[in-house]
Amino acid sequence: MLNIQNLHAEVDGKEILKGLTLSLNAGEVHAIMGPNGAGKSTLGYVLGGRNGYEATSGSVTFDGQDLLELEPHERAAAGLFLGFQYPVEIPGVSNVQFLREAANAQRRHRGEAPLSGAEFLKLARAQAAALGMDAEMLKRPVNVGFSGGEKKRNEMVQMGILNPKLAILDETDSGLDIDALKAVGEGINRIMRAPDKAVLLITHYQRLLDYVKPDFVHVLFDGRIVRSGGPELALELEREGYGALAA
């Protein structure tokens, strides 16, 4: 599904990704772990197409398409979802407006009829309920005044509505209490654990991986994948820290 070959990328003229190679098949969950500043978020942004995060060499294909050629909205329409470490607040735009616009933009791009207001609300309420989010929050401006946990639940509601093929989730577990962590973990499993989907889970800690069991764990260090293994690698890192990698 996703094939990254020898990817180099820079931010502000500084090389951050230094030859990163990684591939994911449908049906798999891959975790990426690594110390602060390793380039984890940069990888997410480059894959999502964020301005200023420039791939300078190497290749990325998504379902056989050259991902780097696509605009961010085309990547989303192709089924890519990027969950942010710090979800943005959008004052003046309600969650419902935002989510419906996003869902219908994707449907238009696929040549599907847009959802009516009523159809959309039904879908949004079902997703909110599944995440344990009060439906009243759908009316509020996007993420404004939401707690850390509410923002992450809200992202999962958005993911449930958009129903992506590939989700790249950047520290979705940061700042979550135990209940929110469990709700988010279950949301990821419910929405994304399917034979035709894949997840790239970026995380510092093992704890989210207790809920979302990865098939593969990779260590990103100084812009490259330096180790790959199974779920036991996450436990080893938790025990021994990243310090040993630098040696």
Residues of this chain that bind Mg ion (CB under 5 A) = 36, 40-41
Instruction: Compare residues 41 and 127 and give the one whose CB is closer to Mg ion.
Output: 41
Distance in Å, CB of 66 to ligand ADP, minimum: 23
**Does 234 sit near ligand ADP (CB under 6 A)?**
no
Q: Which is nearer to ligand ADP, 100 or 151 (CB)?
A: 151
Neighbours of 68 (CB within 10 A): 18
Q: Does 40 bind ligand ADP (CB under 6 A)?
A: yes
Instruction: Pick one of ligand ADP, Mg ion, none as the site partner of residue 31 (Cβ within 5 to 8 A by kind).
Output: none
Residue 39 touching ligand ADP (CB under 6 A): yes
Which among 33-41, 54-62, 102-110, 112-120 is the span making contact with ligand ADP, rule CB under 6 A? 33-41
Q: Which of 30, 33, 42, 151 binds ligand ADP (CB under 6 A)?
A: 42
CB of 126 to ligand ADP, least distance (A): 33
Positions in the binding site for ligand ADP (CB under 6 A): 11-12, 14, 16, 34, 36-42
